[in-house]
Structure 1
Amino acid sequence: MKLLRWVLLLALLLAAAGLLLVWQVGAWNLLFPNHSHDTVAPELPADLASPAVLLFSKTNGFRHKDGIEGGARAIQAMADKHGWGLFNTENGAVFNRDDLARFDVVVFNNASGDMLDAGQEQAFQAWLEGGGAWLGIHAAGDDSHSGWQWYRDNLIGADFTAHIMGPQFQRATVVLENQAHPALRDLPDLWQHEEEWYSWERSPRAEGFIILATLDEESYNPVQKLWRSEVDLRMGDHPVVWANCVGAGRTLYTAMGHRAQAFEQPQVRRLLENALLWLTAADAGGCPWPPAETAAARAG
């Protein structure tokens, strides 16, 4: 009987340790899905500078705690440098017509899961299509958003399959395209970055998105190894940065940013700063793409 009590105690301790580990790595909502939606909007500062950036990192899916903190630090530094207004929140009730009207750009900083209710989604859609701008980082392109069809079709344009495991973080060669795009200013045509690389069923190029960077799949091992299984994650055409023009609005997504250290890399910081400069500018080109004069020159 005494032995049984010790066995039960050990089992409880192991279970508690396992749950603690799940929470620490950000996977709690994967085991216990959260569909809670905020109903009371946060109070915005009266003196919010313009252009203004809404930094949103609600996680009803996997929580990239380290990446969220690193992204927030990097974007705060950029806002300080350029004099942008910045409001950082995880409260989805800020997605209403009046509050969104005070912002020029919304950033999904590793935001994940079922974050917004139907009314909040509709408010964001109307704001973006009416001339707003959006920047999505890493988890903004995973499968936790699959229930929001407009988001999938207009901001991501692809269906997430998996990320590499074996190892989880690998250095790969990033290859730029459309180098004349404002988001790619002063970036090298090729550069190296270590990341938890995502894959999708097919490239968003097929749906008309503007591809800005792809991966050289020969430069890393694009597989997911779990237990005794191994899944080939090669896409052939493997974008990791892309943009889109949505109504009068514009968007950019980057798959980089799982860990805080990603935001310390010069190329990633340059990309994010360029993207925000483009998205906050009243008229910085990029939508439509290619520009009319470039398209005419190609046709001629």
Structure 2
Amino acid sequence: MSEALIVWGGWNGHEPEQCAGLIAEMLREDGFSVALENSTQAFADPAIASLDLIVPIYTMGKIAKEEVENLSRAVRGGVGLAGYHGGMGDAFREAVEYQFMCGGQWVAHPGNIIDYRVTIRCADDPIMQGVNDFDYRSEQYYMHVDPSNEVLATTTFSGTHAPWIEGVVMPVVWKRRHGQGRVFYSSLGHVAKEFEVPQMRTILKRGMLWAARNAS
């Protein structure tokens, strides 16, 4: 049986505990054994190197040097890493090693909760198959991103809330490698309610399954 670890905490506005429960349910539906922890100390445990998947849900917060080093080592060794929105993309702002592994970092969401459109860039990728361009209401993440990411979906900023970024095309969903490990990220999913959006849920679930060790 595949083993996954979800580590939740940080800023409560992203409803980390509720979302951790939803993700645990999603993974168990696909046969995973899931452990949930609410402290970054879990990342320092050498045993995480034997896991198949790690899902951080920890907006902001802090991570100790030995914790991030052990997490990075585990992913480089083949453990999958997958996450969404601020839970993975705005975690541990001072930890550049963590950002290097994830492939990006949140820096702004002009206008806060707004309507925007998600454009599918790789319709033939298994994660995105059958998902068409769709409208979404949430925070439209502006991120600093790694050019080595394989971008699967994007959004275009209108400039309504920040005129100087009008027309900027920003990655929304990507996958990448970190050593031997697969890394997946989606910026969709501000709060638990957004898991009811079929496209958001489908993309995240497929991305987690892709990232898991020994995935096809």
| TM-score of the pair, normalised by structure 1 | 0.65
Match of 1:90 among 24, 38, 42: 38
Aligned in 2, Cα 1:193/1:70: closer, same or farther, shift over 3 Å?
farther
Identity of aligned residues (%): 21
- Tell me the equivalent position of 1:164: 110
Deviation at 1:70, TM superposition (A): 4.4
Alignment partner of 1:75 is 2:5: no
Alpha-carbon distance between aligned partners in 1 of 2:180 and 2:65, rounded to the nearest angstrom: 22
Matched residue, 1:253: 185
The one-letter code matched in structure 1 to 2:207 is A
Q: Secondary structure at the match of 2:12?
A: coil
8 Å CA contact 2:176–2:183 kept in 1: the answer is yes
Alignment of 1:3-42 (within 5 A): none
CA deviation string 1:149-191 (max 9, x = no partner): 222223133x5331122xx212211111122323223322x11
Which residue does 2:135 correspond to in 1?
Answer: 192
| Structure 1 partner of 2:74 | 127
Q: 1:91 to 1:70 in 2, by over 3 A?
A: closer
Q: CA deviation at 1:69?
A: 4.1
Give the length in aligned residue pairs.
215
Alignment correspondent of 2:156: 216
Secondary structure, aligned partner of 1:211: strand
Structure with a larger share of its residues in helix: 1
Give 1:121 deviation, angstroms.
1.0
**Change over 3 Å in CA distance of 1:281–1:106 after alignment to 2:** closer
1:179 paired to 2:111: no
Q: In the TM superposition, what are the counterparts of 1:222-237 in structure 2 within 5 Å?
A: 223=161, 232-234=164-166, 236-237=168-169
TM superposition shift of 1:108: 1.5
CA deviation after TM superposition for structure 1 residue 274, in Å = 0.5
Who wins on radius of gyration, i.e. which is larger? Answer: 1
Residues 222, 281 of structure 1: CA spacing in aligned structure 2 closer, same or farther, 3 A cutoff?
farther
Query: 1:101 aligned to 49, 52, 69, which one?
Result: 49
- Amino acid corresponding to residue 9 of structure 2 in structure 1: K
Paired residues of 1:209 and 1:242 also in contact (CA < 8 A): yes
Q: Is the 8 A contact 2:119 2:155 kept in 1?
A: yes
Q: TM-score, normalized by length of structure 2? A: 0.88
CA distance in 2, matches of 1:123, 1:245: 17
In the TM superposition, what whole-angstrom CA distance separates every residue of 1:115-144 from its partner, at most 9, and x where no partner exists?
3211111111110001011112211223x5
Answer yes or no: is the 8 Å Cα contact 1:199–1:235 preserved in 2. Answer: no
Higher RCO (C-alpha 8 Å, min separation 6): 2
1:93 Cα shift?
A: 1.6
Residues 70 and 261, structure 1, Cα contact 8 Å, conserved in 2? no
Give the equivalent residue in structure 1 for 2:211: 279
Taking a change above 3 Å as real, the CA distance of residues 108 and 51 of structure 1, as seen in their structure-2 partners, is same
Q: Distance in 1 between matches of 2:54 and 2:199?
A: 22
> SS of 1:182's equivalent?
coil
Separation in 2 of the partners of 1:248 and 1:102?
13
* Paired residue secondary structure (1:131): coil
- In 2, the alpha carbon distance for the partners of 1:130 and 1:64 equals 33
Cα RMSD after superposing both structures: 2.2
Higher strand share: 2
Residue 72 of structure 2 contacts residue 101 of structure 2 at CA under 8 Å; is this kept in 1? no
* Amino acid corresponding to residue 106 of structure 1 in structure 2: I
User: 1:63 aligns to what?
Assistant: 12
Q: Deviations over 1:238-262 (max 9, x none)?
A: 1111111111011011111112211
